[in-house]
Structure 1
Amino acid sequence: MDAFLDYWFTSEHVIDAPLVAFIQQLRQQGVPCYLATQQEKYRTAYILEQMGFVREFDGMFSSAYLGTLKKDVAFFQQILAALPDLAPAEVLFWDDTPLNVAVARQAGIQAEVYTDFAHFQQTLLNYELSLNH
């Protein structure tokens, strides 16, 4: 079983380095950045510890501990409850699955589909421009 888990975890150990570096810039500017995942508890621990995301993000919201998946608005409601200083509209969520983005929007969260880093940067720039007007 350990060999299977090791294979599963390491085969999906892919880090988008430019995205993580950009997230560090956001954090240095005082923007809190969290992960939201549908992983089970062992994969959640692997992502945090072995991939180093415990240092790269302000925290992680995982289905393993929330007890629900991203396709359920309760997933996002629990995140909002854990971030009481933020209004839902102040949260910007990214996901590569359109259904998860739609559900986040049902919770009142601003949400976008992640396709690639260039699109992510451009979309963030558009958000910044709209906030400054």
Structure 2
Amino acid sequence: MRHVLLDADGVLQSLPGGWLAAVEPFLGDGSAEFLEQSWADELPALRGEGDFLVELDRAVQRRGLDLDVETFYAAVWNAIEVSPETVGLVHRLRDAGYGVHLATNQERYRAAYMRGPLGYDDLFDVSCYSCDLGAVKPEAAYFARALRLVGAPAGDAVLVDDNLANVEGARAAGLAAVHWDLTQGMTALRSSLAELGVRVDGPGD
């Protein structure tokens, strides 16, 4: 096992307070319903099709809100808190000779923010954004294209993801996979990786 693929949201990064808390100051009542619909509207953009900001603007206008959609988007979707513990693990894995790659479902605006201002292009060996691959986790096509980009066979890679469906999809595609999120702590993740032969020393939780 020489390659580790890390999910973004829930594994590498989080939204402080959660999505609902981020949206409510802008939308008030009905925020939960709005979020559910926005995630459905986002799916084509996650595949690299269409424009999520256009869809978001339409959703805002349907509610009759006087809201600048770019300001709204930046305040919510880009309000990302990066986990220093996961970043530290990435560095230790790379120092130990493992290939460490980002494997995430994102539309192109958030992907650009993660690549640039958050510095993920420098952090990872390879970044596998769904909007670039034209497929989303947990689809088999996503994993096939990600592995092609990484240049590794499925049997030489492990995915760490907080979404069980993605974990099961990875395993069905021949990868090893760990179901983990930030709330479980770094010691638990290192232990799960060690069981798969990926061993790295470092601080705990």
TM bin (shorter chain): 0.7 to 0.9
TM-superposed CA distance for 1:74, in Å, is 0.5
* 3-state DSSP of counterpart to 2:112: helix
**TM-score, with structure 2 as normaliser:** 0.58
Asked if 1:94 corresponds to 2:160, the answer is: yes
Give CA deviations for 1:16-36 in whole Å, capped at 9, x if unaligned: 111111110111122111111
The TM-score with structure 1 as length reference comes to 0.88
* Cα pair 1:9 1:46 within 8 Å, conserved: no
Contact 2:135-2:141 within 8 A present in 1 as well:
yes
1:89 and 1:119 map into 2 onto residues whose CA distance is 22
Q: Higher RCO, 1 or 2 (CA under 8 Å, sep at least 6)?
A: 2
Point out where structure 1 has 5 or more consecutive residues left out of the alignment: none
**What is residue 139 of structure 2 aligned with on the other side?**
72
Structure label with greater radius of gyration: 2
Q: How does 1:19-38 map to 2 (within 5 A)?
A: 19-38=86-105
More helix by share: 1
In structure 1, distance between residues paired with 2:193 and 2:137: 22
Instruction: Count residues with an aligned counterpart.
Output: 128
Which 4+ residue blocks in structure 1 deviate beyond 6 angstroms?
Answer: none
Query: What is the distance in 2 between the residues matched to 1:2 and 1:76?
Result: 31
Counterpart mapping for 1:35-74 below 5 A: 35-74=102-141
